[in-house]
């Protein structure tokens, strides 16, 4: 009888429209006469969601029946962006839905725009997690993502008088059709309190943590559809709620108001995403977020495991957990606590389960980004966890001591506890000790962690514990969705859309690199995408880009000194000064160019904010200088986010990935630009190295000092002094001469380069950068050659699919198989 009532998925225009109308009238309680675009977006989404949930249910049933090992991806950030367009593409219903909403009097593109971005992440790490869940679903892996459902995502950036102003991103203003509230799932999470030490009847020591404050974790599920498959995985995000247990002492004393207020505080745990990228601020609330999310997720996983009635020895045949950076490292301690304190396993058996469960991905070598927590804070917030950390550290140091007797220096270097004032817990070390594999995110970076920050651990564990998985991006969102015209052109030559599942098939495009008809079409797609970006720029900044044939030179990413937007803007100033010096006749030899920037600064990062202001001031001067005309335009696109990236990436001729060598772990926007037919100017850093290897060095503009020389150069700056090149001095003089607003304002920026060691080697790389830019100009003049480079780059970018990255994790780290194998 159940079968008879099974929910029908829409599969035709008729059934779609039927469901749409039903959702308008019942779910939204609106009449069709009063259905605006927002309502139409919601009814469309609800209809798609019905299909997803149907498949989601079947997927979960199938995975439960198969009962194989599952992978859980723990990430404090999931930078998902919009869901509707992506769902349409992945379920291959886009054309049908476009026609249907057209029938109903709406334009699909307009409806898509109504959706707010799910911006629950800062930058690279959060977007990587989003690409990974797409690939896990598409590859039909039994996999869940676990994170936090922040009420406020990354702030929205406004530019006022050239300055960044942050405004809150309350993204849940309207009903969110893409989440399923699981109010029935209520997991108690404790904080504070004390530890009780007792002995059981056999004289064995027992520890029992009595929590002092309790909040409830409730689940919200986000279905993640795979591409061209019915597989729909789950992304479970936790939200904090008050308990319904009141503080009766307060309550009885008549202090009702305060009793309620205490409860309300619970919700602040998941209220807001910390907006720091690559900087550890060490705030108590952040540690609370981490424990809250990790404890709830482990509780969920263990509940699922226990249903199978297996012995604990089989836990690691069923569960793999990946730690996306050190943010979830407390999971290592929590699992050990559950196994030892609550399940009564012997320490060693528990520890072996723990270490075989976890894998740890490192995303940065910057010292200021490595998480450390004061011991005192742990003592208060998670007293039992601190004890366990001490024990983990003790046993670890004992084995090190055995292996390297009498090397006290080594012991203090690798200790989880840093003996500083105040004493701190080094989360990266804890993550290494508690995992069976540690990976970096690009070859160069994975080599660097072995030879610098984790060198001692290679000595202790051997090199095989450390591995590389080069990042990737999902071709569904970053090619098909962002660049439909290019996808169509590619499909016309490859004969099918199979490349979206096996991106290496792009290789075949090489055959057409000299086909003049194809080259022409390829160039036309780029021009169209540039026109789309010109429209966006006009809408957001009111700046007119008069010449769509100009070279679009783009740098969009978080603003950070190590990413060196300052090098880029100094280069722009240099160009401007050259144009000014040239005679009207000479000016004709300059290739017209548009320099485009975008990205957010952490709210408390003063130097990064100054860089934003400088870019805007330079734009103001240059864009209004009649001497310059169409030769140079400078644009800062406000509020860079995933949706804007989808318009920006397809529109680049050139993009900039110019970090100081050795500082950018991988970069993923470099991959997005290459996949969309843009060329790269970049340093020998992160995944640029592998991009060069794949596409050929004749197709990329590399410059700058190599990572192996950076420390030496910094040392020399400090002890021998240094001189900036003439070209850079000239740029700085122009700033100081108030050519771009009040030069005094940029003093700190200038001084850090001129007098304080130039930590990011702007001066050392400047001339080499300018030379690379000259080469760019030269190459761009030869359109045919340029387009050929573009085609060859795309043809050879197949390696950078997140599908490939996920397959590597599955095989090399998780030992998890796709459901169909």
Contact criterion met (CB below 8 Å) for 227 and 138: yes
Of the candidate residues 218, 336, 364, 481, the single one contacting ligand 26W (CB under 6 A): 364
Whether 557 is a known active-site residue: answer: yes
Q: Buried (b) or exposed (e) across 442-477, using 16+ Cβ within 10 A?
A: bbbbbebbbeebbebbbebeeeebbbbbbbbbbbbb
Of 617 and 797, which CB lies nearer to ligand 26W in the complex structure? 797
> Closest separation between CB of residue 362 and ligand 26W, Å?
8
CB atoms within 10 A of CB 547: 16
Catalytic residue from among 668, 714, 739, 789: 668
The helix (run of H) or strand (run of E) holding residue 205 is strand 205-210
Question: In 3-state terms, what secondary structure has residue 655?
Answer: strand
CB-nearer residue toward ligand 26W: 129 or 505:
129
Out of 270, 439, 471, 601, the only residue in the binding site for ligand 26W (CB under 6 A) is: 471
- Rounded Cα gap, residues 330 and 350, in angstroms: 15
Task: Pick the closer one to ligand 26W by CB: 231 or 666.
Answer: 666
Exactly one of 337, 526, 563, 789 is catalytic; name it.
563
Identify which of residues 44 and 324 has a Cβ nearer to ligand 26W in the complex. Answer: 324
Which tokens belong to 753? 């380069």
276, 329, 555, 796: residue in contact with ligand 26W (rule CB under 6 A): 276
We find the least distance from the C-beta atom of residue 737 to ligand 26W, in angstroms, to be: 35
Q: Is residue 105 packed enough to be buried (19+ CB in 10 Å), middle (13-18) or exposed (0-12)? A: exposed
Contact 297, 190 (CB under 8 A): no
d(CA 424, CA 429): 12
Q: Kindly report whether the peptide bond that precedes residue 422 is cis, defined as omega within 30 degrees of 0.
A: yes
Size of the site for ligand 26W (CB under 6 A): 23
Sign of CA dihedral 24, 25, 28, 34: positive
φ/ψ of 525, rounded to 5, equals -60, -45
The residues near 306 (Cβ < 8 Å, ≥ 6 apart) are none
Q: Binding pattern to ligand 26W, positions 637-676, x when CB under 6 A?
A: ---------------------------xxxxx--------
Task: Determine which residue in the list 363, 526, 739, 789 makes contact with ligand 26W, applying CB under 6 A.
Answer: 363
Q: For the segment 586-645, give every residue that binds ligand 26W (CB under 6 A).
A: none
Among 145, 678, 686, 798, binds ligand 26W (CB under 6 A): 686
Q: For this structure, is 558 an active site residue? A: yes
Question: Catalytic residue at 372?
Answer: no
Asked if 561 interacts with ligand 26W (CB under 6 A), we say no
In angstroms, the CA 605 to CA 158 distance is 16
Query: Which CB, 19 or 289, lies closer to ligand 26W?
Result: 289
Chain positions 303 to 332 lying near ligand 26W, rule: CB under 6 A, are: 325
Which of 27-35, 158-166, 363-371, 730-738 is the region at the interface with ligand 26W (rule: CB under 6 A)? 363-371
CB under 8 Å, gap of 24 or more: what pairs does 621-624 form?
Answer: 621/576, 621/739, 621/740, 621/741, 622/572, 622/576, 623/543
Q: State which residue, 70 or 672, has the beta carbon closest to ligand 26W.
A: 672
Minimum CB distance to ligand 26W, residue 278 (Å):
4
Nearest residue to ligand 26W, by Cβ distance, number only: 124
> Smallest gap, in angstroms, from Cβ of residue 100 to ligand 26W?
38
| From candidates 169, 300, 371, 653, binder to ligand 26W by CB under 6 A | 371
69, 363, 450, 644: the catalytic one is: 363
Annotated catalytic residue: which of 49, 426, 557, 560? 557
Query: How close are the terminal C-alpha atoms of the chain, in Å?
Result: 32
Contacts of 75 (CB under 8 A, 6+ apart): 125, 126, 129, 145, 146, 147, 324, 327, 328
Closest distance to ligand 26W from the beta carbon of 125 (Å): 3
HSE at residue 654, side-chain half, CA atoms within 13 A, is 26
681 in Cβ contact with 801 (< 8 Å): no
657 is annotated as an active-site residue: no
| Minimum gap (Å) between residue 442 Cβ and ligand 26W | 7
Task: State the nearest-atom distance from the C-beta of 800 to ligand 26W, in Å.
Answer: 11
State which H helix or E strand residue 236 sits in. strand 232-242
User: Which of 131, 339 has the CB closer to ligand 26W?
Assistant: 131
Binders in 114-173 for ligand 26W, by CB under 6 A:
122-125, 128
Which one of 279, 360, 378, 799 is in contact with ligand 26W (CB under 6 A)?
279
Task: Looking at residues 562 to 581 of the shown chain, list those that interact with ligand 26W (rule: CB under 6 A).
Answer: none
- Give me the phi and psi of 79, to 5 degrees please: -95, 80
Q: How far is the CB of 495 from ligand 26W (least distance, A)?
A: 33
Selected binder of ligand 26W within 88, 97, 333, 441 (CB under 6 A): 441
Q: Catalytic site residues?
A: 363, 557-558, 563, 668, 672
**Interface positions with ligand 26W (CB under 6 A):** 122-125, 128, 276-280, 325, 363-364, 369, 371, 441, 471, 664-668, 686
């Amino acid at each position: 009888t159940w079968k008879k009532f099974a929910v029908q998925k829409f599969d035709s225009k008729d059934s779609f429209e039927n469901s749409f109308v039903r959702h308008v009238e019942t779910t939204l309680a609106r009449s069709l006469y009063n259905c605006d675009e927002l309502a139409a977006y919601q009814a469309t989404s609800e209809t798609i969601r019905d299909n997803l949930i149907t498949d989601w249910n079947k997927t979960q049933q199938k995975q439960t029946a198969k009962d194989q090992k599952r992978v859980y991806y723990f990430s404090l950030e999931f930078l998902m962006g919009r869901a509707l367009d992506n769902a349409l593409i992945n379920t291959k219903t886009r054309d049908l839905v476009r026609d249907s909403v057209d029938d109903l009097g709406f334009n699909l593109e307009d409806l898509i725009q109504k959706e707010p971005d799910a911006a629950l992440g800062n930058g690279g790490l959060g977007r990587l997690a989003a690409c990974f869940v797409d690939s896990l679903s598409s590859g039909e892996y039994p996999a869940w993502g676990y994170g936090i459902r922040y009420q406020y995502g990354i702030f929205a950036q406004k530019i006022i008088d050239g300055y960044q102003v942050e405004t809150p991103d309350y993204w849940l203003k309207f009903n969110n059709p893409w989440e399923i509230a699981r109010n029935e799932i209520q997991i108690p999470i404790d904080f504070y309190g004390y530890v009780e030490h007792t002995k059981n009847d056999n004289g064995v020591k027992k520890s029992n943590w009595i929590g002092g404050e309790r909040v409830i974790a409730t689940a919200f599920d986000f279905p993640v559809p795979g591409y061209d498959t019915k597989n729909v995985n789950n992304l479970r995000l936790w939200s904090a709620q008050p308990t319904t247990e009141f503080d009766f002492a307060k309550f009885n004393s008549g202090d009702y108001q305060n009793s309620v207020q205490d409860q309300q505080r619970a919700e602040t745990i998941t209220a807001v995403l910390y907006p720091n990228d690559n900087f550890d601020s060490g705030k108590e609330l952040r540690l609370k977020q981490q424990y809250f999310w990790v404890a709830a997720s482990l509780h969920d996983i263990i509940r699922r495991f226990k249903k199978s009635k297996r012995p604990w020895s089989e836990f690691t045949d069923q569960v793999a957990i990946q730690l996306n950076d050190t943010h979830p490292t407390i999971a290592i301690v929590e699992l050990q606590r559950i196994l030892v304190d609550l399940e009564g396993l012997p320490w060693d058996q528990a520890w072996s389960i723990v270490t075989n469960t976890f894998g740890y991905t490192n995303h940065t070598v910057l010292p200021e980004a490595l998480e450390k927590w004061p011991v005192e804070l742990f003592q208060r917030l998670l007293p039992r966890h601190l004890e366990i950390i001490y024990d983990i550290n003790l046993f670890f140091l004992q084995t090190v001591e055995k292996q390297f007797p009498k090397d006290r220096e080594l012991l203090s270097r690798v200790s989880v506890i840093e003996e500083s004032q105040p004493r701190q817990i080094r989360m990266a070390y804890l993550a290494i000790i508690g995992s069976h594999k540690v990976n970096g995110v690009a070859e160069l970076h994975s080599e660097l962690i072995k030879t610098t920050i984790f060198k001692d651990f290679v000595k202790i564990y051997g090199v095989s514990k450390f591995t590389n998985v080069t990042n990737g991006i999902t071709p569904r969102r970053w090619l098909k969705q962002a660049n439909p015209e290019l996808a169509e052109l590619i499909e016309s030559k490859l004969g099918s859309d199979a490349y979206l599942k096996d991106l290496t098939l792009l290789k075949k495009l090489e055959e057409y690199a000299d086909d003049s008809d194809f080259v022409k079409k390829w160039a036309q797609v780029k021009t169209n995408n540039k026109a789309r970006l010109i429209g966006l720029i006009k809408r957001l900044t009111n700046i007119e880009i008069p010449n769509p044939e100009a070279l679009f030179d783009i740098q969009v990413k978080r603003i950070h000194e190590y990413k060196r937007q300052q090098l880029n803007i100094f280069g722009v100033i240099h160009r401007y000064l050259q144009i000014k010096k040239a005679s009207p006749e000479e000016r004709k030899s300059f290739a017209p160019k548009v320099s485009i920037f975008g990205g957010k600064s952490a709210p408390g990062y003063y130097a990064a904010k100054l860089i934003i202001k400088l870019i805007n001031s330079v734009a103001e001067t240059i864009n209004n200088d009649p001497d310059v005309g169409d030769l140079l335009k400078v644009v800062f696109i406000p509020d860079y986010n995933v949706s804007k990236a989808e318009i920006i990436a397809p529109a680049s001729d050139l993009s900039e990935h110019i970090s100081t060598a050795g500082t950018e772990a991988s970069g993923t926007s470099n991959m997005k630009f290459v996949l969309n037919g843009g060329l790269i100017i970049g340093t020998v850093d992160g995944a640029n190295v592998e991009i060069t290897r794949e596409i050929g060095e004749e197709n990329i503009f590399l410059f700058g000092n190599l990572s192996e020389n950076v420390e030496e150069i910094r040392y020399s700056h400090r002890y021998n002094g240094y001189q900036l090149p003439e070209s850079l001095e000239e740029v700085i003089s122009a700033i100081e001469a108030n050519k771009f607003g009040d030069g005094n304002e940029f003093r700190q920026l200038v001084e850090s380069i001129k007098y304080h060691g130039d930590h990011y080697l702007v001066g050392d790389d400047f001339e080499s950068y300018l030379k690379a830019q000259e080469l760019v100009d030269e190459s761009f003049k030869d359109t045919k050659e340029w387009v050929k480079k573009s085609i060859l780059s795309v043809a050879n970018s197949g390696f950078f699919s997140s599908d490939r990255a996920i397959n590597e994790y599955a095989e090399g780290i998780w030992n998890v198989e796709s459901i169909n194998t």
